[in-house]
Chains A and B, each alone.
Chain A
Amino acid sequence: MMSLKIFFSLSILISCLISSEQLYENLSSNQIERLNYLSDNIRCPKCSYGNISSSNAPISKDLKNEIALLIEQGFTNEEIFQKMQDRYGSYILLNSIEDEKMPIYLIPLIALIISIFAVTTYTIKKSK
């Protein structure tokens, strides 16, 4: 009796979270792959970190469902990224390379090249 009661309350608690009856059943395997790609590269807007495929927040599941729906309706990846960006801002795109981000790609590379070059020339000079 006790366990039945617990089960009842548990199922209410857990099923509170569900948002959609569908679970991407209509998608082809190619579309599933796109869904995985998209949800790996969109940040969960409610969480502080992590993408929507790795978070348990309800909003992530909603977004994943919405993306699945958009894929089904024939939107391309770029259009879906754009839609998400329009709604939540560019912070939720995880794979974008904007001009603003160039410094963090360039600084380490430049530092690497300069220091290897400097150390090597200095060593050659010293060893003579």
Chain B
Amino acid sequence: MMTSVYLDFLGNSLLWVATVSSLLSAIFSFQKQHLIARNFIFLTSSILLLASFYLVYQFLQNNFSFLYVAQNSNIFLPVYYKVSAFWGAHEGSFLLMILLLSLSMTISNYLIRNEGFIMQANVFASLICSVYLLFLTTASNPFYVLSNSPVNGADLNPLLQDPLLAIHPPLIFSGYVFYAMTFCFVISGAIGKFTKELFDTIKVWSTISWFTLSFGILLGSIWAYYELGWGGYWFWDPVENVSLMPWIAGTAFSHSLIFSRDKIMLSWMVFLAIITFLLSVFGSFIVRSGILNSVHSFAADPSRGVFLLAILALFTFASFIIYIRSSEIFRGKWPKFGSLNYLLLLNNIILMTILLVVLLGTLYPIFTEILFESKLSIGPNYFSDLITPLTVALIIVFTFEQFIRLRIKTTLLFSLIIVAICLTVYMFLEQAIFISLILVAALIAILLMRLISYLIVNNTKLRFHKLLGHFSVAILTFSILFNHNFSERIDIKISEGDSINLLDNEILFEEIEIINDSNFNGVRAKILINNDFYLHPEKRVYKVGGQITSETAVQTTLIKDYLVVLGDRFQDGSWSIGFSKKYGILLIWMSSFLLLFSILYGGIKRKL
């Protein structure tokens, strides 16, 4: 009997009703029918919520007649991964993204009732929502049903069977969605007027989006470090770059908000908001159309690509027509030379250059491949070579930002800037890593002094969370540089009971034991390091898909991490293991969390 595929009536109808309701909310918002529009927005989000629960319910019920469930789950999967399998592949993750968008619309409509700008923002948000819903229902519907259901599903990608990675994608999507909300508010200001209330709303949303996206990216890094098994946390993989680009643009956007509050360069702020949003749309196009091939596998489908490209083109053209036709935003002033706003502008320029580096490194190979049929190889070196000096320059600029209000003689400051720039150029030419380390360390010391003096004097003009945030970025840069240049790794062959001295550490391979779990079998090694602690690297064979994965064992200490990866088994019963020492990992995580904390703290403080 042939298996045929058709659409589940309930799920599909829910999606269509949501699409229509979302379109209606756009129309009523446009006609300034406040109440009706709000009801339709509420209706859209509740229907989408219902549809999502319906899909999750199928996962929990092991209903493998649903194609999406059959592809991404199986009986042995623990319950929490059955829930997270909902966003484990393309269709579900898109549904989640749209759900989040409509939920954040509902929330902002609930919070802001009587402002004119909310209606304009609603028009755009509803339109974005409807366009994506149309895409979901026509080109990637998650509610396909098989006529005769398989006994068991394929598995959820084993890499995704990890608590961190279960929450990493929804966080990234939320970040994108929140930036889309921010974008809608900024556009409503560009069409109408930037009132103080609108500015406050934009600030709240930009802080939320920035925080969420940063958190998502950080979790992805932590996951990569502990799960992928070669001790890296950032690989300059094209898909990572694609998620990093909106983040960089969003960072620049958050900073540009500081000066556009005084109506300085409003056009630049609006431009950045548009760019941030478009980069996230661009990201979903380029990742899901299969143009990039990468470890982040999303099933590629050319028809999807065409649809997503059309969406991208639509949003791009629409937002730039609005941008160019808006007269309000071009009335802004220009900052004074040597002022804080001028330094912020420099900061934005450097961030944009970093963005350009990432963009070129990701797209240029595609460009040459299509146009000249030559496949260029861009390695991590390209990114680190260019971004290291740029980041150091950025730290120099924002360190000066912290001092500009103190009115130390500007001439002194600028002579220092020039010295620093010369050093940076030298560093770039000579690849002298020590110079950059020393430079960053000096800047950290300066920032730390500023932080302490702030705590003692309590200068009300300067905000504590900003100082803290910049301080943590400096530490983060320092620890990344340190990690990048001093970590070591070695592979050896070792038998049970053997001990060996590796990279000045005593290693005893005690034994191998068998492990069983509901969804995998495997072996676990017991390795004693320096007579001090045990590491338990594993090798797993997943029952359903048969994939073999290695689980890294990590011992984290303040200065360095010890990593052991279990390799292959040799014919004589010995094993290959990879042992590495990684420096500064804990410092990287801590400074990143400090940065997140200061973003959050700043946001909360502003609300109070």
CB under 8 Å from chain A, chain B span 346-401? 346, 349-350, 352-353, 356-357, 360-361, 364, 368, 374-382, 386, 390
Residues of B within 8 A of A94 (CB): 377, 379-381
Residues of A within 8 A of B334 (CB): 122-123, 126
Q: Is the CB of A21 within 8 A of B514?
A: no
**Complex: A90 Cα to B539 Cα, angstroms:** 34
Stretch binding the partner chain, chosen from B25-33, B302-310, B316-324, B563-571: B563-571
**Complex: A115 Cα to B230 Cα, angstroms:** 39
Q: Is the CB of B377 within 8 A of A96?
A: yes
Given A108-B356, A108-B386, A126-B334; A43-B571 close (CB under 8 Å): no
Q: Is the CB of B294 within 8 A of A49?
A: yes
Q: Is the CB of A23 within 8 A of B523?
A: no
Report the minimal beta-carbon distance from B72 to chain A, rounded to whole angstroms. 21
Q: Is A54 part of the binding interface, using a Cβ–Cβ cutoff of 8 Å?
A: yes
Q: Is the CB of B349 within 8 A of A116?
A: yes
Q: Is the CB of A10 within 8 A of B521?
A: yes
Q: Which bracket fits the contact residues of B?
A: 35 or more
Q: Is the CB of A41 within 8 A of B379?
A: yes
Select which of B237, B378, B572 is within 8 A of A104 by beta carbon: B378
Q: Is the CB of B514 within 8 A of A15?
A: no
Select which of B337, B368, B516 is within 8 A of A120 by beta carbon: B337
CB under 8 Å from chain B, chain A span 67-121? 89-96, 98, 100-101, 103-105, 107-108, 111-112, 115-116, 119-120
Report the minimal beta-carbon distance from A29 to chain B, rounded to whole angstroms. 9
**Complex: A48 Cα to B334 Cα, angstroms:** 46
Report the minimal beta-carbon distance from B243 to chain A, rounded to whole angstroms. 14
Residues of B within 8 A of A101 (CB): 376, 378, 382
**Complex: A127 Cα to B572 Cα, angstroms:** 78
Q: Is the CB of B235 within 8 A of A10?
A: no
**Complex: A92 Cα to B522 Cα, angstroms:** 33
Select which of B356, B375, B379 is within 8 A of A95 by beta carbon: B379
Q: Is the CB of B514 within 8 A of A10?
A: yes
**Complex: A106 Cα to B119 Cα, angstroms:** 45
Residues of B within 8 A of A51 (CB): 379
> Using a Cβ cutoff of 8 Å, how many contacts connect chains A and B?
140
**Complex: A122 Cα to B228 Cα, angstroms:** 49
Residues of A within 8 A of B349 (CB): 112, 115-116, 119
Q: Is the CB of A108 within 8 A of B492?
A: no
Q: Is the CB of B570 within 8 A of A21?
A: yes
Residues of A within 8 A of B230 (CB): 53-54
Residues of A within 8 A of B357 (CB): 104, 108
Q: Is the CB of B377 within 8 A of A92?
A: yes
Query: Which of B293, B361, B381 has its CB near the most chain A CB atoms (within 10 A)?
Result: B381
Residues of B within 8 A of A54 (CB): 228, 230, 232, 235
Q: Is the CB of A123 within 8 A of B364?
A: no
Q: Is B335 part of the binding interface, using a Cβ–Cβ cutoff of 8 Å?
A: yes
Given A15-B568, A54-B232, A122-B334; A6-B490 close (CB under 8 Å): no
Q: Is B548 part of the binding interface, using a Cβ–Cβ cutoff of 8 Å?
A: yes
**Complex: A70 Cα to B376 Cα, angstroms:** 26
Report the minimal beta-carbon distance from A125 to chain B, rounded to whole angstroms. 9
Residues of B within 8 A of A127 (CB): 336-337
Q: Is A13 part of the binding interface, using a Cβ–Cβ cutoff of 8 Å?
A: yes
**Complex: A93 Cα to B380 Cα, angstroms:** 11
CB under 8 Å from chain B, chain A span 15-68? 15, 17-18, 21, 23-25, 32, 36, 41, 43, 47-51, 53-54, 56, 61
Q: Is the CB of A23 within 8 A of B491?
A: yes
Q: Is the CB of A49 within 8 A of B493?
A: no
Select which of B295, B374, B521, B576 is within 8 A of A49 by beta carbon: B295
Select which of A18, A93, A108, A119 is within 8 A of B568 by beta carbon: A18
Q: Is B342 part of the binding interface, using a Cβ–Cβ cutoff of 8 Å?
A: yes
29 contacts between A and B (CB under 8 A): A7-B514, A10-B523, A10-B541, A11-B569, A13-B541, A14-B541, A14-B569, A18-B568, A21-B572, A23-B576, A25-B493, A36-B489, A41-B381, A49-B238, A49-B294, A91-B376, A94-B381, A98-B376, A104-B357, A107-B356, A108-B360, A108-B386, A111-B352, A115-B352, A119-B342, A119-B345, A122-B334, A123-B342, A124-B337
Extra contacts, 15 of them, besides A54-B230, A108-B357 (Cβ < 8 A), are: A3-B516, A6-B521, A11-B569, A21-B570, A41-B381, A53-B489, A93-B377, A95-B381, A96-B377, A104-B357, A104-B364, A111-B352, A111-B356, A116-B346, A123-B335
Q: Which 4 A-B pairs have the closest CB atoms?
A: A94-B379, A48-B293, A23-B493, A54-B230
